[in-house]
Structure 1
């Protein structure tokens, strides 16, 4: 009995002297937000432009978040908007930023929830979640840097490289002869797949372009098409049936992005895989899509609110055996795709190159994870020159 009493006293002393993780955690001291505009050399058009829904794309707005802590750790992340929305996202991000000052940067999931509730009256998807993304991504970048690891390695990489396809050379505004030149250049540069935009008012024009590219590439080389939500269910069925002969890797966004049931039905009906998901802006929407049965899911970390919700999408997608092909932002998505259990695809866009000091490594159809800690990029001086607005919060360490 005496020994038991002695142990109780000993445990009590240890409890009184011990420091908890909350006592010793780091703290966010400074945040810098930047609104940056990336100009495109040539206005870009897809099916949404041909139908009058949108104007040609001439620039992309980026919101960068740079975060530093009391203990000297740093992270950088970004969100973006094509056409309208950039200034609104930047404005909401400025409202959110003060909520992070003084917080432990290690508590990423808790901080995501805190920021989500800060803007909850505006909803839990769309601009409100996209404004969270720069912070969330910066915190994951910081966590990986603190560990001295590329983010892919921190997450538990399944592979050191990801097969990579190019989109930027096959837009609808590009004449067919130039498309063929772009395809040849992409293949020679080490690209592992080619994606063409389709969705012309006249399907025969799409067929002509796809047939010409398939002939140039030869049988077996991965070829995808993207309709950018152009068709209704009847026309999508007709187009998918027509494209079966070209041995496509997938047909992307044949229907409205929120027609989860319709995409699932097309995936069930045709041999060619159906891909969609880039326009969805939260985990819940992706969950509906995954459960509806599409073949490829195409989440976009900046659009869904960052890496935290993206990891949840990955977990559900892998559980349901969906293939993964993240949309845009290869600088972020390379790391996430490298950690996916089923062999994924990465979308290659050279557009973002001028924003960063570092280059990505492409070889033999695959993009390789570098040995740089975190996401592995820093903002270039050119990016700073394209930045008309910045705002800082907290005290700069």
Structure 2
């Protein structure tokens, strides 16, 4: 029997925000509508424009017409196992993340409650953020300082993470240069300001330990993905041999793989809501981390829908030990939202409107479909 939350339609949208925007800057958005006109929005990982995940959404969308949006966990597991032979990592879990976020958005709107209330309530109404600053492998020391200082002064973040984004086929390419940049940033912000270093998988085990020792001396608080993410044993070895907290798992897509990373010895994990099955998946990660005594600091690079969904989850975590990631300060997407998440004084406010709490301008999204 049909109810107000019965699914009427599912749309998979690749959105191009600016003319000739490259695929990696486009957004992969899912729009779910119920027969009573309740609309939920979700987002998938935008790698290559998210088309790999949007293709999965388009394939499963017809089978969900007539299903109840309130059954989001049942629908998630049913679809995961329908497409399990595709991975399930990557395209499948990205597609399911977008669907899951949209269904939670519908659930919150139906019950007239923000998502964090439906997840058990919030420990906080504001979440501090760290400025995630990428592209530093190709910059000189002076260029790194200029970029870091600009965002530090403008955004007043609670912490800063410098990312390398270098060529992952060249391990240990310029360790002295990397350490010099880390030293210069520390000198810029002072001894007490929280700093993190994201290697983006560019070191061997030996190289990672060498850099990690330097970061310990400089007082950096975490060292992210020092070795290739798929080499779980090596990641665990580096984590166990260094005193600095080593983090990983932004490219982990299942709870079982997350447990493997933890069992290897990693004590801070960073699954991403648009890769790890959405809100449902990230809440499962939170339970796993709580049980293992491991820090959960989600990776998050999308500035609107996924970012807001992530804030709802972070509001519910009792031991939130690190700030939330803020990787993209661009306002190009704000045109499609009446109330986009905007940082203030180093924090984001957790929305308290129904569902995600975002007011979306449908016409603007449709105009920008690529």
Question: After TM superposition, is the score higher than 0.5?
Answer: yes
| 2:332 counterpart of 1:354 | yes
Question: Could you say which residue in structure 2 is the equivalent of 1:209?
Answer: 181
Is contact 2:114–2:353 with CA below 8 Å preserved after alignment? yes
Asked if the contact 1:141/1:375 (under 8 Å) is kept, the reply is yes
Gapped regions of structure 1 (runs ≥ 5):
1-21, 43-56, 389-397
Aligned to 1:123: 87
Deviations 1:36-66 (A, max 9, x none): 2456999xxxxxxxxxxxxxx8733432111
Residue in structure 2 matched with residue 253 of structure 1 by the alignment: 225
Equivalent residue in structure 2 for 1:195, among 161, 164, 183: 161
C-alpha contact 2:133 2:148 (8 A) present in aligned 1: no
- Alignment CA distance shift 1:352-1:174 (3 Å): same
Distance 1:277 1:387 in 2: 31
Distance across 2 between alignment mates of 1:338 and 1:41 = 37
TM-score with structure 2 length normalisation?
A: 0.86
CA contact (8 A) 1:77 1:135 kept: yes
Which structure has the larger Rg over C-alpha atoms? 1
Give the TM-score, by structure 1 length: 0.81
**Any conservation in 1 of the 2:175–2:207 contact (CA below 8 Å)?**
no
Q: Distance in 2 between matches of 1:38 and 1:118?
A: 33
SS in 1 for 2:258: helix
Which range moved further: 111-120 or 207-216? 111-120
Flag structure 2 segments of 5+ consecutive residues without an equivalent: 167-171
Question: Judging changes above 3 Å, is the alpha-carbon distance between structure 1 residues 158 and 252 closer, same or farther for their aligned structure 2 residues?
Answer: same
The corresponding residue for 2:169 is none
* Aligned-pair Cα RMSD in Å: 2.5
* Alignment partner of 1:338 out of 291, 315, 318: 315
Residues 304 and 219 of structure 1, relative CA distance in 2, 3 Å threshold: same
| Aligned-partner Cα distance in 1 for 2:138–2:355 | 37
Per-residue deviation at 1:262?
2.6
Q: Classify 1:40/1:268 alpha carbon distance in 2 versus 1 (closer, same or farther; 3 Å).
A: farther
| 1:320-373 superposed Cα distances (whole Å, 9 cap, x missing partner) | 121122112333212212211212421102356422422324233322212332
Quick check: 1:226 aligned with 2:198? Answer: yes
| Matched-pair contact (CA < 8 Å) for 1:96–1:118 | no
User: How many aligned residue pairs are there?
Assistant: 352
The alignment status of 1:387 with 2:364, answered yes or no, reads no
Q: CA deviation at 1:251?
A: 0.4
Is contact 2:162-2:198 (8 Å) kept? yes
Tell me how far apart the structure 2 counterparts of residues 375 and 352 of structure 1 sit (CA, whole Å). Answer: 20
- Asked if the contact 1:37–1:59 (Cα under 8 Å) also holds between the matched residues in 2, the reply is no
User: What SS does structure 2 have at the residue aligned with 1:187?
Assistant: helix
- 1:95: how far off? 0.3
Partner residue in 2 for 1:134:
98
Q: 2:291 aligns with which of 305, 316, 319?
A: 319
